[in-house]
Structure 1
């Protein structure tokens, strides 16, 4: 009889000490979405034929791709990110500035960063003719944040 009580106690102790799995299913820190448009007709999406993109002092994200839009991360440790966008060996540098707002999502996901007050502090105009901010708050990846006309 004591043997049964011990087994029941061990079973209950094991069962009660289990926790739910901590799997993050929520969205985390969103990336910046950029779409490319024709400078002559701003309503027409225009692909960049040989796009190479990298953050200053970092490795390339896209190498020799033909794309009409890109998704790139912003720096979580600074209030700015400087990207170099190269099209057919012609380089332009764009510096994005923003305010970071860390928000607690859940125990399993931790924190995510929302970027607010997105601005373009500086950019060169070698192949990029102009840049327009569509959404200055980056809190999701559902809509385009920046339009680049070339």
Structure 2
């Protein structure tokens, strides 16, 4: 009898558990940037040796080569993120640095017990949403045009920013 009660208590305690130790849901999305050819705007253009570094960080975020789409994180503890984009970073004679500053509002959204909260972003819906500036030592702005495809950054399934160069 004691074995049956113990087995029954064990079965009841395990049946009330949830699968909440693994977060399989969406998390805070990264900003998706896609690159295009200025002369042929409908054609994706691969970047060469693009070094991306967040302002105030001592290490680079990533160096991208032979890709036309990248994903970079935005700060969740503020409303501005500024990145240095250095094109041809491995060629010291031809490198070109531009800065992009992203201004946005944040909203924390509950995902699940396992995942907790994620932050979604809303880029400012004016000229201050994305600001492009040149390096301290001017070398010419290599990003010819920047188009915001969507101000709401809620997932990584779509392109948020298009850059033409």
**Length-normalised TM-score, structure 1:** 0.88
User: Hey, what does 1:135 align to over in structure 2?
Assistant: 150
Q: CA deviation at 1:44?
A: 1.9
Contact 1:52–1:86 (8 Å) recurs in 2: yes
> How far apart, CA to CA, are the structure 1 residues paired with 2:121 and 2:56?
22
- Where does the alignment leave 5 or more consecutive residues of structure 1 unmatched? none
Higher strand share: 1
User: Hey, what does 1:90 align to over in structure 2?
Assistant: 96
Q: CA deviation at 1:122?
A: 4.4
Aligned partner (choices 133, 137, 146) of residue 123 of structure 1: 133
* Superposed CA offset, 1:22-62 (max 9, x none): 12221111111000111222222111111111211233232
> How far apart, CA to CA, are the structure 1 residues paired with 2:64 and 2:148?
25
Contact 1:29–1:114 (8 Å) recurs in 2: yes
> How far apart, CA to CA, are the structure 2 residues paired with 1:130 and 1:145?
14
- Where does the alignment leave 5 or more consecutive residues of structure 2 unmatched? 89-94, 135-139
Contact 1:51–1:66 (8 Å) recurs in 2: no
Aligned partner (choices 86, 108, 111) of residue 105 of structure 1: 111
Higher deviation after alignment, 34-43 or 98-107: 34-43
Aligned alpha-carbon RMSD (Å): 1.6
The total of aligned residue pairs comes to 146
> How far apart, CA to CA, are the structure 1 residues paired with 2:76 and 2:41?
32
**Length-normalised TM-score, structure 2:** 0.81
Q: CA deviation at 1:64?
A: 5.1
SS in 2 for 1:60: coil
> How far apart, CA to CA, are the structure 2 residues paired with 1:103 and 1:122?
30
User: Hey, what does 2:160 align to over in structure 1?
Assistant: 145
